[in-house]
Structure 1
């Protein structure tokens, strides 16, 4: 098993410091082992939000090992990035990365996607990162790599985000971060600067609509996605669409408002 694990890399002079979980966590999460181990109560499938303790760089891998899972829930962890500093967040945190984001301001500052259950079995090791083109990727120790979404803005400061959702109960943040060696020095710096929220959000909507032409519900990751939303996404089964409509009323992918009655 250890032969398949991701290689360790030394932390050079560009290192931003140890990567752990921030202490601002979901209501059902307990941190231990120096804020590297996070465990969600099995009494719920949500309230498992986690953030990195510091900003991450482009191509910096966030490496996780799934310690515990639970078959009594549908779906698995969600991963992504946010430009909202964990230090500035008020508690309690939102109960889910998808679809519950409490305000319009935060909708434009979160980029998260579900990870398939096969990647999230107990004992599995995976890593996720944002590429130099603004795409969110995930891969596992077997070399299987998937693009989860596009349009993450590289000019904003980004914190990693993990949602211990559904079957994923416990994860361990692993080792030091990894940065691709071929990157130029200007991409090794922390991601800061201005960002045209409106134009880039529109671009994210269009590209994500093309990307998510799949048949599995992105909420439960179990049933067929048979509900079409006004934004063009066909990403949820009817039971989940009804629940999302009552809870947040927004598409879990692009955050546009839904109609009062989901259409098949």
Structure 2
């Protein structure tokens, strides 16, 4: 692993940028994970075993910026334990941490210099809840849940050094997904993008991916950094025109997002119609679904 230089994450985590308004990929760090945590979905989902309430620490793959709002979704909860998710920030790079990680963020890390962490109310951490947390220019950390009013979590975050997001999948919270991040600057909004590599669905042939990539262009990563056209926008990036019509009949993807969606999911993002075999014209299909009643 490339050692962090204090100004950025590992080289592999910072080399990709897909546009002027791209913050770069944001995933969970692959090595710095709690003993009871399993990562999946391209390191964007973290799940803690149900047999314990602790050992659920995860960190961001790269430093996050001041006022960069990090979005999480609680995928699963379990009411066997008290307490729920803890979120925070740290000046210590994940790659510098000895393993195994501490069993809990509070008090094992919160009592150490360079760590700021606070519990999120249990009412905000039910399955399906979406959370956003960030640090302000004044060093105050805030959280919102499902677009509710922001809550102050703590103050005194040191902004003089790079900061990594730190999340403890604790107590009732069993599984979370990292939904990305955004940072607003004047009239522009900067956003994180998908990671450069995606796991391929077992139903999608690698040759198919190559064919679709050739048809749609070689760029797999996109970022919503352009204005939406007057036509229907791509349902993934919401920033480019939907030019690709899938075999199910849905015209819902731009040429940059289509290879990514087919590689990662292998289905239409609207109706979940499976995309497998090639058809005339160079695209992919499966037998079209029969309308109800026929």
TM-score w.r.t. the length of structure 1 is 0.62
* 2:86 maps to 1:78: yes
Within 5 Å, give how 1:174-193 maps onto structure 2. Answer: 174-175=179-180, 177-182=181-186
- The 3-state SS of whatever aligns with 1:71 is coil
* Residues 47-101 of structure 1 deviation map (CA, whole Å, 9 limit, x = unaligned): 0000000000000011000000010000001001001101111100001110113
More strand by share: 2
* 2:127 maps to 1:127: no
Within 5 Å, give how 1:168-247 maps onto structure 2. Answer: 168-175=173-180, 177-182=181-186
Runs of 4+ in 1 over 4 A off after TM superposition: none
**What is the distance in 2 between the residues matched to 1:28 and 1:130?**
28
**What is the distance in 2 between the residues matched to 1:101 and 1:153?**
15
Within 5 Å, give how 1:1-264 maps onto structure 2. Answer: 12-13=19-20, 15-23=22-30, 24-101=32-109, 107-175=112-180, 177-182=181-186
**What is the distance in 1 between the residues matched to 2:187 and 2:55?**
36
Query: What residue number does 2:10 align with?
Result: none
How far residue 142 of structure 1 moved from its aligned partner, in angstroms, is 3.2
- The 3-state SS of whatever aligns with 2:95 is helix
**What is the distance in 2 between the residues matched to 1:164 and 1:84?**
19
In structure 2, relative to structure 1, the CA distance for the partners of 1:147 and 1:183 (3 Å cut) is farther
How far residue 14 of structure 1 moved from its aligned partner, in angstroms, is 5.4
**What is the distance in 1 between the residues matched to 2:63 and 2:26?**
9
Gaps of 5+ in 1: 1-10, 185-264
Greater Rg over alpha carbons, structure = 2
**What is the distance in 1 between the residues matched to 2:186 and 2:53?**
40
- The answer on whether the counterparts of 2:67 and 2:137 sit within 8 Å (CA) in structure 1 is yes
**What is the distance in 2 between the residues matched to 1:60 and 1:183?**
15
More helix by share: 1
In structure 2, relative to structure 1, the CA distance for the partners of 1:182 and 1:163 (3 Å cut) is same
Query: What residue number does 1:188 align with?
Result: none
CA-atom RMSD in angstroms = 2.0
How far residue 180 of structure 1 moved from its aligned partner, in angstroms, is 2.2
If asked which structure has higher relative contact order (CA below 8 Å, sep 6+), I would say 1
In structure 2, relative to structure 1, the CA distance for the partners of 1:132 and 1:12 (3 Å cut) is farther
Report how many aligned residue pairs link the two structures: 171
In structure 2, relative to structure 1, the CA distance for the partners of 1:183 and 1:54 (3 Å cut) is farther
How far residue 12 of structure 1 moved from its aligned partner, in angstroms, is 4.5
